[in-house]
């Protein structure tokens, strides 16, 4: 595979910096405030947004909260097992959370209902349906899309009750800082994006960069191989280019 990549070829016919077909389906869950199914080649994930009203944290009395979880279903791969989340699921949730949180994508101040007493809490749940590589990027795309289409449910401050059966026309307060995540993998002397499961299995290093308009909000390196400075510069260039392409596809799908 590494020898083939040196010739600029991949087994599925794509270029080294070419993504698989991306499909985003909206409103796939009747119970979520916003939900999408993302298909990236044969990789499929679902992301759902749920909201609740809670007491804010003591150090941020005017800010809402965010919690991202990921569940890697045994149905999506023989490699995943039922039970407590393992490292891959924890990493997937945390990297997605970090990109959303640190980018400023969510305006947490506007999620405040009553200072020091009540704020909106946003849950983003990610579920794998099929793992054919690059769950990391697919999960982030799904989380962003679900947040973009989510509607805030009706809330009665007097009774402190949420009517989940009736959504308002209000969207979750978001900014223009959309943290598209792009994972670049190192295989020998080659750098590729959107690996299949076979390519991911022989990847020596992965760098996932969450960025918006060239501004980096999160970065995660996985696997053991070191990355020279010149290769790292190339990874940043690839990530910036691909993130713009994904952003355009995401916006088009949502509209």
49, with CB counted inside 10 A (0-12, 13-18, 19+), is buried
Strand order in the sheet with 190-193: 190-193, 180-187, 205-212, 215-222
Mean pLDDT computed over every residue of the chain:
95
Query: What is the mean predicted confidence (pLDDT) over 192-218?
Result: 93
CB of 46 closer than 8 Å to CB of 35: yes
Q: Write down the pLDDT at residue 223.
A: 86
Is the pLDDT at 212 greater than 90? The verdict is no
What confidence score (pLDDT) does residue 175 get? 95
- At residue 125 the predicted structure's pLDDT band, cuts being 50, 70 and 90, is very high
CA nearest 96: which of 126, 64, 72? 126
In Å, how far are 10, 29, 92, 191 from 238, measured between CA atoms? Answer: 17, 34, 21, 9
Round to whole Å and give the CA distance between 63 and 113: 9
For residue 164, what is the enclosing H or E element?
A: strand 161-171
Exposed (0-12), middle (13-18) or buried (19+): which is 73, by Cβ within 10 Å? Answer: middle
Q: Containing H/E element for 169? A: strand 161-171
pLDDT of 224 higher than 90: no
pTM of the shown model: 0.94
């Amino acid at each position: 595979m590494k020898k083939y990549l040196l010739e600029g070829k991949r087994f599925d016919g794509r270029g080294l910096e070419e993504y698989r077909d991306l499909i985003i389906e909206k409103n796939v869950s009747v119970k979520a405030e916003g939900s999408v199914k993302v298909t990236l080649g044969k990789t499929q994930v679902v992301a759902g947004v749920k909201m609740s009203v809670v007491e804010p944290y003591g150090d941020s009395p005017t800010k809402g909260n965010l919690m991202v979880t990921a569940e890697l279903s045994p149905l999506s791969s023989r490699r995943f097992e039922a039970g407590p989340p393992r490292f891959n699921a924890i990493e997937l949730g945390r990297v997605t959370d970090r990109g959303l949180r640190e980018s400023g994508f969510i305006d947490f101040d506007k999620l405040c209902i009553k200072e020091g007493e009540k704020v909106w809490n946003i849950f983003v749940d990610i579920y794998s349906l099929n793992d054919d590589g690059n769950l990391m990027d697919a999960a982030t795309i799904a989380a962003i899309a679900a947040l973009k289409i989510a509607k805030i449910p009706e809330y009665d401050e007097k009774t402190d009750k949420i009517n989940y059966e009736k959504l308002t026309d209000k969207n979750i307060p978001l900014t223009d800082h959309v943290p598209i995540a792009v994972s670049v993998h190192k295989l020998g002397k080659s750098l590729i994006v959107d690996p299949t499961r076979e390519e991911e299995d022989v990847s020596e290093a992965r760098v996932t960069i969450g960025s918006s308009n060239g501004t980096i909000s999160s970065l995660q390196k996985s696997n053991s191989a070191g990355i020279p400075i010149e290769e790292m510069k190339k990874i940043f260039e690839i990530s910036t280019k691909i993130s713009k392409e994904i952003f355009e596809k995401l916006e088009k799908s949502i509209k």
